[in-house]
């Protein structure tokens, strides 16, 4: 070997590290994609047109007509009184028979406990909002001074809406997993969802997405929420928060679907994967007319803006008939 020349070093290939349960979740997803869904019940004669938006962040995009309007949080950019009141006045003026809103992590005014614990964060938001002299005076007001007009506000509560001879029960919650310092957030490893959603809920309105459902490439949703939805599936789940996840999808919670959600939510293991495989084969063999009808659940990420700082309206409202 010539002097000064280093010996050839073996080529080091990048090592692929798989997170716990990665293989289990991957196989579950593959089986789910092969599943032939069971027949669903006949649609109602007069469906309800549900209009879904989220993450407007102070913008006021055009909203299509419908029977009910849902806003899944982050009405504002900074969460000040004047911002929230402007959004509420805009929503209240919409022609929809019912308007239902929850808060998001940007809507600081609506979380007084957070403001009292983190006054510096509240002052930072007030400064960033650049209020006028009139608004500075207005910002001394609290969430109790808001004029909600025709808007129904849900915070870990339910409401029942009437549409002729039909009723729909909606449960709404602003919670999202901790990321930075914002309102209505909880530690990622803390289960705040178990047994919280009433079993008769038709529509679930949350700010953050459940894990594995339109929650972005990084899968930023909450697995505890996924588990809770699988326990008692509603007809419709509306959320936002992860702007890039905008869109809609359907899931059915039969044996295959429920097992898949359980694995995704972290509460089920390899036994559920075996159950999925058996049910999938049985569903292929059994004639469709002999299978039990099961209602589907629609998931909607209704975030209308893109970006994280310079919010621009990119996405249209999502309309779902139920």
> Which residues neighbour 153 within 8 Å (Cβ) at sequence distance 6 or greater?
101, 102, 103
The dihedral built from the CA positions of residue 283, 289, 293 and 295, taken in this order, carries a sign that is positive
Residue 320's pLDDT is: 97
Structure tokens at 262: 């359980």
Residue 157's pLDDT is: 98
Please work out, in degrees rounded to the nearest 5, the angle formed at the alpha carbon of residue 305 by the alpha carbons of 301 and 307. Answer: 110
- Do 305 and 59 meet the contact criterion of CB atoms below 8 Å apart? yes
Q: Which residues of 156-192 are buried (b: 16+ CB within 10 A; e: fewer)?
A: eeebebebeeeebebbbbbbbbeeeebbbbbeeeebb
How far apart are alpha carbons 64 and 314 in whole angstroms?
15
- Please give the model's pTM, rounded to 2 decimal places: 0.85
Residues of the chain with pLDDT under 50: 1-2, 15-17
Residue 253's pLDDT is: 85
The closest of 144, 139, 220 to 185, measured between CA atoms, is: 220
CA dihedral 51, 52, 57, 63 (to 10 degrees): -20
Rg of the chain on CA atoms, in Å: 23
Residue 138's pLDDT is: 61
Strand 151-153 versus strand 318-321 pairing type? unpaired
- Do 246 and 278 meet the contact criterion of CB atoms below 8 Å apart? no
- Read off the pLDDT of residues 176-214 as tens digits, 9 standing for 90 and up: 999 889 999 999 999 999 999 999 999 999 999 999 899
């Amino acid at each position: 070997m010539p002097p000064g020349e280093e010996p050839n070093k073996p080529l080091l290939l990048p090592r692929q590290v798989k997170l716990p349960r990665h293989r289990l979740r991957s196989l579950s997803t593959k089986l789910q994609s092969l599943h032939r869904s069971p027949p669903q019940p006949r649609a109602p004669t007069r469906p309800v047109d549900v209009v879904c938006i989220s993450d407007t962040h102070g913008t006021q995009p055009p909203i299509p007509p419908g029977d009910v309007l849902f806003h899944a949080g982050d009405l504002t950019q900074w969460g000040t009184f004047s911002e929230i009141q402007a959004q509420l006045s805009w929503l209240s003026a919409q022609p929809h028979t019912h308007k239902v809103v929850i808060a998001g992590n940007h809507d600081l005014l609506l979380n007084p406990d957070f403001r009292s614990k983190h006054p510096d964060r509240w002052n930072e938001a007030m400064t960033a909002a650049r209020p006028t002299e009139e608004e500075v005076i207005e910002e001394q007001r609290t969430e109790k001074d808001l004029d909600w007009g025709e808007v129904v506000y849900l915070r870990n509560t339910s409401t029942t809406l009437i549409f002729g001879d039909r009723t729909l029960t909606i449960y709404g919650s602003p919670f999202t997993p901790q990321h930075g310092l914002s309102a209505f957030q909880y530690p990622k490893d803390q289960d705040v969802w178990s047994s919280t959603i009433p079993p008769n809920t038709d529509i679930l309105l949350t700010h953050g997405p459940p894990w594995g459902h339109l929650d972005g490439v990084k899968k930023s949703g909450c697995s505890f929420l996924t588990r809770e939805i699988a326990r008692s599936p509603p007809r419709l789940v509306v959320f936002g928060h992860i702007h890039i996840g905008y869109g809609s999808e359907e899931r059915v919670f039969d044996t295959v679907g429920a097992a898949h959600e359980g694995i995704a939510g972290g509460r089920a293991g390899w036994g559920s994967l075996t159950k999925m495989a058996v049910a999938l084969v049985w569903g292929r063999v059994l004639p469709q007319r002999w299978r039990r009808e099961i209602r589907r659940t629609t998931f909607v990420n209704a975030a209308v803006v893109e970006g994280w700082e310079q919010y621009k309206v990119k996405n249209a409202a999502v309309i779902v008939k139920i």
